[in-house]
Amino acid sequence: MRGGAWGQRSFRLFFFGQGISAVGDRIVSVALAFAVLDLTGSVKDLGVVLAAQTVPLVLFLLMGGVWSDRVSRRAVMLASDVVRAGAQGASALLLVTGSAHVWQLVVLQAIYGMAEAFFSPAAQGLLPQTVDAADLQQANALIAVSSNFAQIGGPAVAGVLVATLGAGWGLAIDAASFLVSAASLSMMHVKAAVPAARTGALSELRAGWRAFRSRTWLWVSALEFMGANALAFSPYLVLGPEVARVSLGGPAAWAAISTASGIGAVLGGIFGLRWRPRYPLRTMFITSLIGTSPILILLAAAAPLQALLLASLLSGMTISFFNLIWFTVLQQRIPGEELSRVSSWDSLGSYAASPIGLAAAGPIGIALGISTTLYAAAALGVLGTAAVLAVPSVRNLTDEPAAVLDSDSG
């Protein structure tokens, strides 16, 4: 910890700001769900509010990538933090004063999603500017540990807030966390990045697309992420809280499940500090195959809370390891001047179908039954992971940095 990524002041500020922001995000993931359910009692409305975050995220991601490669990534992140603080602060005010309507939450969460679309590719590109190339996996692992410690404490705090003061206070804390993140970013001094040549927004979008599609391992993996987010994770987000409300005792149970996932995620991040697999994509997809289906199956069966906590622990561990490996591969293999644009295409592929999945999960759960829908989500997740592992360029990609190698080398 005295050297490597942690030895860099800018990385420590990045780590602190994103860690505090992650606390707010984990609180709001529980608070927003129960705010909507308390407001209308409808899983359809919850799906619409969650989809409202994701639609503008999908629509603006590519432009976020272009601007993050054009101008200061730190400035893009600062602006995003301020906008998100405003959106969550307004949502909190409406909920705390008892004047909230679903349409208002939809609008404010859409603003939040638009700002997130600019933040994510900028953050992906800024992190390599804070550390040396050899320290990238350590940096990603530390960020994962930080955000996942937040996942332990955040849902627990959210459960107490929702049960005592009300869900609106959870959104208020999220708003404050973005201001802390902005303050940390304002104190950073990062390595200068070579900006992308300005050739027009459409031309730069096409250049990012060419870089994205030229790497088979990249676009195939993004397709798998799209399917997993829409068909497996969306039902989990929409139907999981309803299972907790009906069968497990309410918000406290869902907060406990989310907390267990956070504990697992910390373990996954610590594991990532120690292990650099020779075949990173193969390893991350195999661990995902092992870790993500049990929680869906046990939710479908309305299993005892203890079993769900263990499954959530395993799921959090594998997802955390999965993400830090993936981000490291991108940062190692994509040239810095186009990293934000390429990562925005990756994120677009990952989230493009999520609004449909989120909006459809509630109606499908009502039509087919919540248990049937969750069982189907687990099965589809397994099939998608098995399919991507069958692709040689995914399965055989090595851990050697390849930003300067030919586009589809493994």
Question: Over the stretch 285-318, which tens digit does the pLDDT of each residue have?
Answer: 988 888 888 999 999 998 999 999 999 999 988 8
Share of the chain above pLDDT 70, in %: 93
In the three-class reduction of DSSP (H, G, I as helix; E, B as strand; rest coil), residue 394 is classed as helix
Range of the domain at 26: 11-185+199-395
Number of domains in the chain: 1
SS3 content of the chain, % helix, strand, coil (to 5): 85, 0, 15
Q: Which of 12-16, 84-88, 301-305, 344-348 has the lowest mean pLDDT?
A: 344-348
For the chain, percent of residues with pLDDT exceeding 90: 20
Q: Report the predicted TM-score, pTM, of the whole model to 2 decimal places.
A: 0.67
pLDDT exceeds 60 at position 36: yes
* 402 assigned to some structural domain: no
Residue 362 lies in a domain: yes
Q: Is residue 409 part of a domain?
A: no
Cβ–Cβ < 8 Å for 198, 70:
yes
What is the C-alpha separation between 95 and 173, in angstroms, rounded? Answer: 13
Token pair belonging to 82: 């301020």
Q: Which of 158, 173, 163, 156 lies closest to 38, judged by CA?
A: 163
Residue 123 lies in a domain: yes
Give Cα 181 to chain centroid, integer Å: 17
Residue 209 confidence (pLDDT) above 80: yes
> What secondary structure does DSSP assign to 309-360, as a single string?
HHHHHHHHHHHHHHHHHHHHHHHHHS-GGGHHHHHHHHHHHHHTTHHHHHHH
On the 0-12 / 13-18 / 19+ scale of CB atoms within 10 A, 103 is: exposed
| Amino acid 93: pLDDT | 93
Return the higher-pLDDT residue of 345 and 110. Answer: 110
Q: What is the mean pLDDT of residues 157-186?
A: 85
- We report the CATH number of the domain holding residue 266 as 1.20.1250.20
404 has a pLDDT exceeding 50: no
